[in-house]
């Protein structure tokens, strides 16, 4: 089971450094506040479908350098 499985983006961000939100996002992507309610699985599905910005969110949230 993946570390983020079943968690919302808000829950995942609690274990990340605040600077993660300063990373540049793709044009047309939602803001961090717009995705806080999504689960990790919903984010992954949107990334698979190629919705703007969701692959970037996925990559950022997986990077260990942003961990607290």
Instruction: Summarize the confidence of residues 26-41 as an average pLDDT.
Output: 96
Contacting residues for 39 by C-beta, under 8 A, at least 6 apart: 6, 7, 8, 9
Residues constituting the chain? 68
Instruction: Summarize the confidence of residues 45-61 as an average pLDDT.
Output: 96
Q: Is the pLDDT of residue 1 over 70?
A: no
Domain residue limits at 31? 9-66
Mean pLDDT of the chain: 94
Instruction: Summarize the confidence of residues 50-66 as an average pLDDT.
Output: 95
For residue 1, being part of any structural domain is answered with no
pLDDT of residue 2: 73
Q: How confident is the model at residue 3 (pLDDT cuts 50, 70, 90)?
A: confident
Provide φ and ψ at 31, rounded to 5°. -85, 170
Count: domains in the chain: 1
For residue 3, being part of any structural domain is answered with no
For residue 2, being part of any structural domain is answered with no
């Amino acid at each position: 089971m993946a570390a983020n499985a079943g968690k919302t983006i808000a829950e995942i961000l609690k274990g990340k450094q605040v600077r993660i939100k300063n990373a540049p996002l793709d044009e047309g992507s939602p803001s961090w506040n717009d995705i806080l309610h999504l689960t990790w699985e919903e984010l992954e599905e949107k990334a698979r479908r190629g919705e703007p910005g969701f692959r970037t969110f996925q990559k950022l949230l997986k990077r260990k350098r942003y961990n607290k």
